[in-house]
Copies of this chain bind each other. A is one copy, B any other.
Amino acid sequence: MTDRSYSISELATEFGVTTRTIRFYEEKGLIHPRRVGQKRLYSPSDRVRIKLILRGKRIGMTLQESVEVIDLYDPAHNNRSQLHSLIRTVQEKRERLLRQKRDIEDMLAGLDEVQTLCEQGLKDAD
């Protein structure tokens, strides 16, 4: 079963998006499924790509930013001349992610506080 393929609606329901969304991603050049006749057929790697795009979205990346990160894995960049610029790019992405992580942790701490106050409030009312 290594290398099955997926229909558009199969992926749509799996990821909780509409088929329109997936076609839109193709329209924007983010994915390139093959065709069988008229129909789109998605490979496992197409599927992962969509999954990663949606992961990016969840933390507020634009679609372009998402593929930018995904394509860092692309071996095409691995020519010596651009290795340094690639490293710099990685560093920039990392910094943004670290800041987001701090933001999230700060918010979580805030929520903890609120919850504690809530529970205290409930106890007081007993």
A interface with B by C-beta (< 8 Å):
55-61, 69, 72-73, 78, 80, 83-84, 86-87, 90-91, 93-94, 97-101, 103-108, 110-111, 114-115, 117-119, 121-122, 125
A69 contacts across to B, CB distance below 8 A: 107, 110-111
* Stoichiometry (number of copies): 2
Q: Decide if the interface of chain A is mainly helix, strand, loop or mixed.
A: helix
A83 contacts across to B, CB distance below 8 A: 118, 121-122
The answer to whether B106 touches A55 (Cβ under 8 A) is yes
**Once bound together, how far apart are the Cα atoms of A97 and B111, in whole Å?**
10
**Once bound together, how far apart are the Cα atoms of A57 and B115, in whole Å?**
23
For residue A100, give the distance in angstroms from its CB to the closest CB of chain B: 5
A97 contacts across to B, CB distance below 8 A: 104, 107-108, 111
Residue of B nearest to A122 (CB): B83
The answer to whether B60 touches A114 (Cβ under 8 A) is no
Give 26 A-B contacts (CB < 8 Å), ordered by A residue.
Answer: A58-B60, A58-B99, A59-B59, A59-B60, A59-B104, A59-B107, A60-B60, A69-B107, A69-B111, A72-B111, A72-B114, A73-B110, A80-B121, A80-B122, A83-B121, A83-B122, A86-B118, A87-B119, A90-B118, A93-B107, A93-B111, A97-B108, A100-B104, A101-B104, A101-B105, A104-B104
